Amino acid sequence: MKITRRIPYLLLLSTALLLQNNVKAQNNQTVNSSLTRVVNTAVPFLRIVPDARGGGMGDVGIATSVDPNTTFYNASKLAFAKRKLGLSLSYAPWLRALGITDIYMAHFTGYYKVSRNDVVHTSLKFFSLGNIDFTDASGASLGSGNPRELAFDAGYTRRLGKHFALGVAFRYIYSNLASGQNLGSEPIKAGHAFGADLSGTYNLDMTVGKKKMKANFMTGLALTNLGTKIAYTKNAKEKDFIPSNLGIGLGFRLQPNKYHEWGIYADFNKLLVPTPRSDDKDSNRIADYKEQSSFKGLFTSIGDAPGGFKEEMREWTMGIGTEYWYDHIFAVRAGYFLEAKDKGNRKFVSVGVGVKYSVFGLDFSYLIPTGGQRNPLDNTFRFSLKFDFAKVGGNKTNDEGDDINDKTDKVDKATRKKLKKGKAATAE
């Protein structure tokens, strides 16, 4: 039955952005040696960057300034948001360079500051893989389907001090790749899984140089998609890992004056999923790494690469990006993403622009693959709409172009002087 090759094909299709290699579909009972260097997971759409701002800066976002899409990268940053309410809607067409028009990803997210120190947030990510025609080994039609995946999450962030915050989120994951079809005699069903995010942020405002220019340093750590494994048949002998991930981010922003702001950011990410190996010590025709629980896999993934420490370090990806804001209204962005050749070989340059007016923001990004590797986002624009409502503590700036050292709960020196003069005049 050709349908037996549809499930791995669809998994690879949904993995396209994350695993840009020439891996071919394999039987579940064997481990292809060509896969032993690439960490593979189910529902890889969870790791696809959804927004145009991060997409324009090499997929970075763990330690950038706060916006509504912070929920994807590092929700703990939301504790330092300057706005009470933020919403965003993002859209990314898929495989447009191949003439495919019915594959896309949509992402909605929002947050609300309950108080100065408390934030609640939610997001919904939807990935449509278009229409698929199913056939048997002789080419006879078995009908068609619309594979689709989604993730819904809700979370809470708490500011624990002047500079530090923690965040947590819980996620429901749904993956319907070929429901209604059969894998041999086994009906294929939609997969369900649950995950959680844990994140922390250190945020420091400062002044630098003789001119005491405003600056900000931020670092963040995010553990995302920590959760259960997923299966697509009722009696599956093995379940697939979801893309649990460890992310570390660094960011620095400098504001020489009120018209200009520049930032540089770097993200480092590693999947907390066991590296594929051919070991089968119990001879049950299932690779040993696949039999691990998701919890055990989190820890074994730190040092299980066949090539030792050097290979383990190659499983980290790096993104570096920069962003310039003029007058808190117009932004220009650029970035670069790098992944080891034997771990997926994703390499690309990305560029983007953004505009902000009052409560409304619009971002665009464009991806340029390098190193001869194709990308599902080749020659494709992504865009995000953002809305920021209700100032916090009288702050009149936006998140991306905010005054770095703005103390929202304090009256600045100039205002205090005016108040003193007013009181003195009244007394006279």
Residue 316 has pLDDT above 80, yes or no: yes
Rounded to whole angstroms, what are the CA distances from 207 to 64, 176, 216, 217, 407? 18, 51, 8, 10, 13
Angle 330-333-335 from CA coordinates, rounded to 5°: 175
Give me 228's structure tokens: 């259960």
- The first and second tokens of residue 33, run together, are 């040696």
Query: What's the rounded mean pLDDT across residues 332-344?
Result: 93
Q: Where do we find the tokens 């890889």?
A: 44
Average pLDDT over residues 327-338: 96
Single-letter amino acid, residue 315:
E
Name the helix (H) or strand (E) containing 330.
strand 330-338
Tokens of 216: 């900000």
Q: Which residue carries 């959680």 as its tokens?
A: 196
414 against 92, higher pLDDT: 92
* Residue 81 tokens, joined: 């948001």
Q: For the chain, what is the largest distance between any 2 Cα atoms, rounded to a whole number of angstroms?
A: 100
Mean pLDDT of 272-290: 84
* Residue (of 82, 71, 81) closest to 154 by Cα position: 71
- Which string of DSSP letters, residue by residue, matches 199-238? EEEEEEEEEETTTTEEEEEEEEEEEEEEE--B-SBTT-SS
Q: Which of 170, 167, 231 is CA-nearest to residue 199?
A: 167
Burial 172-211 (b: 16+ CB within 10 A, else e): ebbbbbbbebebeeeebbbbebebbbbbbbebebeeeeee
* pLDDT surpassing 70 at residue 318: yes
Contact criterion met (CB below 8 Å) for 118 and 157: yes
Q: How far apart are CA 79 and CA 119, in angstroms?
A: 6
Which helix (H) or strand (E) segment holds residue 314: the answer is helix 309-314
pLDDT for 178: 81
Mean of pLDDT over the chain: 83
Amino acid 284: pLDDT: 78
Is pLDDT of 3 > 60?
Answer: no
Rounded CA-CA distance 358/207 in Å is 27
Alpha-carbon distances, residue 112 vs 183, 202, 224, 336, 388 (angstroms): 45, 20, 21, 32, 10
User: Over the stretch 217-267, which tens digit does the pLDDT of each residue have?
Assistant: 999 999 999 999 999 888 777 889 999 999 999 999 999 999 999 999 999
Answer yes or no: are the C-beta atoms of 399 and 83 closer than 8 Å: yes
pLDDT digits (tens, 9 = 90+) for 150-203: 999 999 999 999 999 999 999 999 999 887 777 777 788 899 999 999 999 999
The Cα 335–Cα 385 span in angstroms is 20
List beta partners, residue 120: 112, 156
- Which pTM value belongs to this model? 0.84
Name all domains of the chain by residue range, CATH numbers in brackets. 3-427 (2.40.160.40)
